[in-house]
C-alpha cells in the first residue's frame, strides 16, 4: 500500500518539477525505507496534504517531507526509529553508528563545596537526534562546570574530520596519563611521527577489576593472558578468604585504586 502511495507522490513531484523516471526510481527506495512504519491510510492523507498545501519553490528533499509528516500530531516517534538508531560520528562506538549515544567529558575545576581542585570524568548524553532521552546532554554538563568554575579545564570526546576518527576526552587528559605512567601500567611509545600511550600488560594493575573500566574507557582490549592471570589471582584470593577470612575482592581492589584516577 505504501508503495503505491509513495509512487503516486513521487510521480506528482516529478511532474511538477520536471524530473524524469530516474528521479522516481532513485528516491523510491529511500521514501519506502523512511515511511515503512507509517500506516498507509495516514501516509496517503499526509502526502496529499503536502502536495496540495506545502509545495516549495524547488523540489523538496526527503528530509523536508519527513519533517512535515513527523510534525503531524498523530504521527508517532517510534515509526521513525530507523533513523533515530544511527548515532552521530561524535558518539558512535561502532563503525555503522548502531551503538553509542554518550560523550565522555573530562574536567579539572575548583569545587567551592570541597574547597579544592578536583578531576572528574563524566559520561553524558550526546546531543544528536539518536541520543534523545532524559538526562543532561554533554553541553549542559559543560555549561554546568563552567558555571561552577569559569576557569575550568574541560575536554570532551569529539570526531576529528581531518584525522578521521574520534578523539577521546580521556586521551586528551594529560594529568590522567601522567598518573597512569607514574603508576607504571602505561608507558609512552615514541615513533618519528607521534608518541603513543601503550599499556604495560605485565603490570599487576591490569589484573584488578578497576582495570576493566580503565581499558574500556581508553578503548583497549585486555589480552587473554592477563585475563587468565586475573582469574588465577581471584581463585587464590577466594581460597585464602575461605582459609583466613582474608581481604575481600573489593578491599584488594581498593588498594589498587591508587593506580586509577
> Interface with Zn ion by CB under 5 A: which residues?
87-88, 90-91, 126, 128
Instruction: Output the smallest distance, CB 154 to Zn ion, in A.
Output: 18
Indicate the burial class of 142 (C-beta count within 10 angstroms; 0-12, 13-18, 19 or more).
buried
**Core vs surface per residue 10-43: b (16+ CB within 10 A) or e:** bebbbeeeebeeebbeebeeebeebbeebeeebb
Toward Zn ion, which CB reaches closer, 89 or 148? 89
Toward Zn ion, which CB reaches closer, 159 or 256? 159
Task: Provide Rg for the chain, Cα atoms.
Answer: 27
Instruction: Output the smallest distance, CB 144 to Zn ion, in A.
Output: 19
Instruction: Output the smallest distance, CB 101 to Zn ion, in A.
Output: 6
Q: Which residue has the cell 576518527?
A: 165
Toward Zn ion, which CB reaches closer, 90 or 208? 90
Instruction: Output the smallest distance, CB 259 to Zn ion, in A.
Output: 31
Q: Of 121, 117, 119, 118, which Cα lies nearest the Cα of 138?
A: 121
**C-alpha–C-alpha distance, residues 219 and 210, integer Å:** 14
Q: Would you state the cell numbers that stand for residue 23, as one nine-digit string?
A: 528521479
Toward Zn ion, which CB reaches closer, 126 or 186? 126
Instruction: Output the smallest distance, CB 105 to Zn ion, in A.
Output: 14
Toward Zn ion, which CB reaches closer, 139 or 237? 139
Instruction: Output the smallest distance, CB 160 to Zn ion, in A.
Output: 15
Amino acid at each position: 500500500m505504501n508503495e503505491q502511495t509513495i509512487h503516486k507522490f513521487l510521480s506528482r513531484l516529478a511532474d511538477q518539477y520536471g524530473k524524469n523516471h530516474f528521479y522516481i526510481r532513485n528516491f523510491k527506495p529511500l521514501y519506502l525505507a523512511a515511511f515503512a512504519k507509517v500506516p498507509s491510510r495516514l501516509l496517503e492523507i499526509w502526502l496529499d496534504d503536502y502536495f496540495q498545501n506545502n509545495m516549495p519553490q524547488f523540489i523538496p528533499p526527503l528530509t523536508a517531507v519527513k519533517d512535515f509528516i513527523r510534525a503531524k500530531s498523530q504521527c508517532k516517534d517510534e515509526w521513525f526509529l530507523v533513523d533515530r538508531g544511527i548515532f552521530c560520528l561524535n558518539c558512535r562506538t561502532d563503525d555503522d553508528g548502531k551503538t553509542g549515544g554518550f560523550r565522555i567529558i573530562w574536567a579539572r575545576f575548583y569545587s567551592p563545596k570541597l574547597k579544592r581542585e578536583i578531576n572528574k570524568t563524566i559520561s553524558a548524553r550526546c546531543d544528536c537526534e539518536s541520543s534523545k532521552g532524559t538526562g543532561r546532554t554533554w553541553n549542559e554538563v559543560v555549561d554546568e562546570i563552567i558555571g561552577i568554575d569559569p576557569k575550568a579545564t574541560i575536554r570532551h570526546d569529539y570526531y576529528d574530520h581531518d584525522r578521521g576518527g574520534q578523539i577521546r576526552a580521556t586521551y586528551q587528559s594529560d594529568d590522567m596519563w601522567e598518573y597512569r605512567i607514574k603508576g607504571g601500567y602505561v608507558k609512552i611509545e615514541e615513533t618519528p611521527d607521534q608518541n603513543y600511550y601503550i599499556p604495560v600488560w605485565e603490570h599487576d594493575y591490569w589484573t584488578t577489576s578497576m582495570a576493566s573500566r580503565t581499558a574500556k574507557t581508553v578503548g583497549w582490549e585486555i589480552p587473554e593472558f592477563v585475563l587468565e592471570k586475573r582469574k588465577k589471582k581471584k581463585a587464590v584470593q577466594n581460597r585464602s578468604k575461605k582459609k583466613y577470612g582474608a581481604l575481600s575482592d573489593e578491599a584488594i581492589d581498593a588498594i589498587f585504586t591508587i593506580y586509577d584516577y
